[in-house]
Chains A and B, each alone.
Chain A
Amino acid sequence: MRYIDKTVVGLTIAFLALLFADFFMAEWMRFIGLQSLARGTVALGLLVLWRTGLVSFGHALYFGFGAYAAAMLTLLGYHDAFFLVFAGTLVAGLLAFLLGFLLRRYRAIFFALLNMAFSMILYGVIVKTEALGSTDGFSVLAPTFLGYAPEGEAVQTTLFLFTLVFTYLITLSVHLYLKTTLGGMSMAVRENEIRVEYLGYSAEKVIHVKYVFSGLVAGFGGAIMALAIGQVDPDSMANWTVSGEFVFITILSGIGNVAATFIGALVFELIRTYAFEYAPQFWQFILGGSLLAIIMFLPDGIWSVLSRLRKAEKAPSP
């Protein structure tokens, strides 16, 4: 019972509700949901880093790496979603593990910009590679699921189910991880690294573990995105603006709770979709404006609305 708290219960209810809703949702809503799950998972990795006091402006590196890895495997004739997503996650995690040896030594702006530098190297390589379609990217065919090859709307329904199950498991484990000693070390590293070292822990190792984790989930998000949309290109997968979107979502969500990242990602997608629909010439302006509004009025993100409501609820009781 000590692992079951309100977040676990809430996540499980949301999971079951979405599982059920999958079969009744409007197609476009499922599509937005799928993208929100993918982006939300990446933001989950950023949340873990953020709690450690680190902001990365370059997680499109792992997102793009995962997306392109999965997409390139389809070119080689592999179409199973389990294999593609697993491979995309793994190679991104491996890259994060290797780069982690360098990046764990940096903090603050140096960490943020070094990440960005690495992500732009990947971007540059993709743009220059004509076999991968340069700036155009290439199309990704619909995946199969352990031999099951859905068609039409069933592709998205199955993919949503697939993504939902894995996202649920990942989110749950992050939540439980953050409650362990190593997870709790996040805040400690952020607040006072020297004290952490005196307690006998290596701050760099703590950061490295979290960095690899963030790389893994970003790779997962990228692979899902490639399959969901059916297209990869460097500008939407590996450019610094994509990294910016992840930071945007993290700010929007706040780092109060793991569930917040998905709500933030959903809100982000909705703002973008509606801004694009109703103001085709000013949608970037609306997106920027809403970020500004969030920072000014809800500095702790959307999640803080929920905690404020709770406080208000408690107040009148004696």
Chain B
Amino acid sequence: MQIMKRSGGIALLATGLAAAIGLTAGMANAADKVVMAVPTFLTGAGAPAFGVPARNGAEVIIEAINKGTLPAPYDKSGKGLAGRQIQAVIYDESGGGVKQVAEFRNKVQKQGVDLFVGYISSGTCAAITPVAEELKMLTIFPICGTPRIFEEINTNPKYVFRTMGHATADGVAEAHYVKANMADVKGYTGINQNYAWGQDSWRDFDLAMKQLMPSVPASDKAQWPKIFSGQYGAEISALMLSKEPLVHSSLWGGDLEAFIFQGSARGLFRKKKLLFSVADTSVYRLGKKVPTGVILGARGPYGIFAANVDTPLNNWFRKVYIDRYSVPPVGGSYQAAQGVLAAKFAYDKAAAANGGKFPSKDQVIAALEGATYQGIAAEVHMNRSNGHQAATIHQIGILEWDKDAGEPIMTNVTTFPADCVMPPPGVNGTEWLKGGMKGAKC
């Protein structure tokens, strides 16, 4: 008996703790709300330039949806998602794929999340896709760029959507731009992070260049720093010594800013022509320190490219955003907002088809599949990968500093139609590029 009595301690601690906390489960998920999880970088190198602006963009839209203050074309759709208020659960995306998959399960099982709109890093999206399909959870990726999501990881998605173009669009648009504006370029090299996004960005740009400008050689010494490494001394030295005049880079967030600071100090931007595919996120943060004359993209018509788009939705978004955060919205803000709008559009459309009653998850999915809806800056066509992958127009330009206005501006902007830069529906991006981009409508 003595033994029994004392050993109860271990057993009690283990099971009591488990039971006590187990009881608190399942109390979330109130019936009159839609719980929307919004994972984005809140800490670490991805946060200041990308994660936080993305969160801000999502917040502006979620608040307007809940209050019913969105302008046209969403002004007649009432408050909330199909009449229900959004309860946003914003949380941190940092820590890597394993941690995020664990957290995804946690949010679904513990907090009763109804849908996810988020994830910035391609690495996280790649890790999340299988588990989202396994748990049958509606998941909208607004930002991450790796084409592998629907080309390798899941070629027949049911629950996962992406509401912007992927890295292939960036690579193709950049190659077209280089061909049109730097016809006599002698060669190109690159600096990209050694993970899904960096590898895919370089591969697609390289393949597109081989098709469009086959006589221009690529360097075999492209640089591959680790993601979030922050130190680029060795890489900058290698780039300075390389003979290729054009440098392609898909660095983003804190990595990009560190690279720009370190590169500027060593005169890299005077010596080489840089092509940044996601650098728009940093142009307002860096202010006068931005390297002018670089070729710049925002992964679509977002951020600085949308500064002069004169539609009620865009004017409203910029005004509310600037009033609230006192900086202009960047690409990440636009893209996150576009992802949340997809949910608004799909829930409302599904409710309308359902006779005004709140739709089921399957009805929402059916409403979003293959649809066309209005994003903040551009129309979004969900017409790739069985209607789960978006295509939009794409823009590339050259960054300059406007002395009079005291702000950065885009010059020499070229707009590419979606069907020019994205592979046609049902075609694998890499094969499309290798086969000479058949079916592209430029």
Most buried by A among B14, B95, B99: B14
Which of B65-73, B120-128, B230-238, B245-253 contacts its partner?
B120-128
Contact present for B92 and A281 (CB under 8 Å): yes
Quick one: given A6-B7, A28-B110, are A33 and B18 in contact (CB under 8 Å)? Answer: yes
Mask: chain B, 120-156; 1 = CB below 8 Å from A; 0 = not: 0011001101110010000000000000000001000
Q: How far is the CA of A29 from the CA of B129 in the complex (A)?
A: 22
List residues 78-92 of chain B with CB under 8 A from any CB of chain A. Answer: 90-92
Contact present for A235 and B95 (CB under 8 Å): yes
Contact present for A28 and B25 (CB under 8 Å): yes
Mask: chain A, 224-236; 1 = CB below 8 Å from B; 0 = not: 0100011111111
Chain A residues with Cβ below 8 Å from B42 are 280-281
Q: How far is the CA of A13 from the CA of B9 in the complex (A)?
A: 10
A118 at the interface (CB under 8 A from B): no
Most buried by A among B90, B97, B122, B196: B97
Contact present for B13 and A306 (CB under 8 Å): yes
Contact present for A7 and B131 (CB under 8 Å): no
Which of B100-108, B172-180, B370-378 contacts its partner?
B100-108
Chain A residues with Cβ below 8 Å from B226 are 127, 135
Contact present for A134 and B17 (CB under 8 Å): no
Quick one: given A10-B10, A127-B226, A130-B199, are A236 and B134 in contact (CB under 8 Å)? Answer: no
Quick one: given A21-B15, A134-B194, are A27 and B10 in contact (CB under 8 Å)? Answer: no
Contact present for A233 and B22 (CB under 8 Å): no
Chain A residues with Cβ below 8 Å from B43 are 281, 284
Chain B residues with Cβ below 8 Å from A306 are 9, 13
Task: Return the chain B residue nearest A124 by Cβ.
Answer: B226
Quick one: given A127-B194, A139-B153, are A18 and B18 in contact (CB under 8 Å)? Answer: yes
Task: Return the chain B residue nearest A281 by Cβ.
Answer: B42
Q: How far is the CA of A270 from the CA of B110 in the complex (A)?
A: 12
Q: How far is the CA of A28 from the CA of B106 in the complex (A)?
A: 6
Task: Return the chain A residue nearest B11 by Cβ.
Answer: A13
Q: How far is the CA of A10 from the CA of B97 in the complex (A)?
A: 36
Contact present for B98 and A259 (CB under 8 Å): no
Quick one: given A10-B7, A136-B122, are A230 and B101 in contact (CB under 8 Å)? Answer: yes
Q: How far is the CA of A277 from the CA of B37 in the complex (A)?
A: 11
Chain B residues with Cβ below 8 Å from A259 are 10, 14
Q: How large is the interface on B (under 10, 10 to 19, 20 to 34, 35 or more residues)?
A: 35 or more
* Min CB gap A221→B, angstroms: 13
Chain B residues with Cβ below 8 Å from A109 are none
* Min CB gap B126→A, angstroms: 6
Task: Return the chain A residue nearest B148 by Cβ.
Answer: A136
> Which one of B3, B90, B92, B98 lies within 8 Å of A231 (CB-CB)?
B98
Contact present for A14 and B96 (CB under 8 Å): no
B183 at the interface (CB under 8 A from A): no
B227 at the interface (CB under 8 A from A): yes
Contact present for A29 and B22 (CB under 8 Å): yes
Chain B residues with Cβ below 8 Å from A281 are 42-43, 92
Mask: chain A, 212-250; 1 = CB below 8 Å from B; 0 = not: 000000000000010001111111110000000000000
Contact present for B98 and A6 (CB under 8 Å): no
Chain A residues with Cβ below 8 Å from B9 are 10, 306, 309-310
Q: How far is the CA of A266 from the CA of B130 in the complex (A)?
A: 26
Q: How far is the CA of A283 from the CA of B43 in the complex (A)?
A: 10
B21 at the interface (CB under 8 A from A): yes
Mask: chain A, 1-40; 1 = CB below 8 Å from B; 0 = not: 0001111111101100110010001111101110100000
Q: How far is the CA of A141 from the CA of B131 in the complex (A)?
A: 9
Contact present for B106 and A31 (CB under 8 Å): yes
Q: How far is the CA of A285 from the CA of B25 in the complex (A)?
A: 25
Chain A residues with Cβ below 8 Å from B98 are 137, 225, 229, 231-233, 235-237
Contact present for A6 and B3 (CB under 8 Å): yes
Quick one: given A29-B21, A139-B127, A276-B91, are A229 and B102 in contact (CB under 8 Å)? Answer: yes
Q: How far is the CA of A139 from the CA of B8 in the complex (A)?
A: 40
Chain B residues with Cβ below 8 Å from A8 are 7
Contact present for A236 and B10 (CB under 8 Å): no
Q: Pull 19 A–B residue pairs with CB atoms less than 8 Å apart, ordered by A.
A: A10-B7, A18-B18, A21-B15, A25-B18, A29-B18, A29-B21, A130-B199, A135-B96, A136-B123, A136-B126, A229-B98, A229-B102, A230-B134, A233-B96, A237-B98, A276-B92, A280-B42, A280-B91, A281-B92
11 further A-B contacts with Cβ under 8 Å, apart from A10-B6, A236-B99, are: A17-B11, A18-B18, A26-B26, A134-B199, A135-B195, A139-B126, A141-B130, A229-B101, A230-B101, A277-B111, A280-B92
Q: Which 6 pairs across A and B sit closest by C-beta, in order of nearness?
A: A10-B7, A236-B98, A10-B10, A26-B25, A28-B110, A28-B109
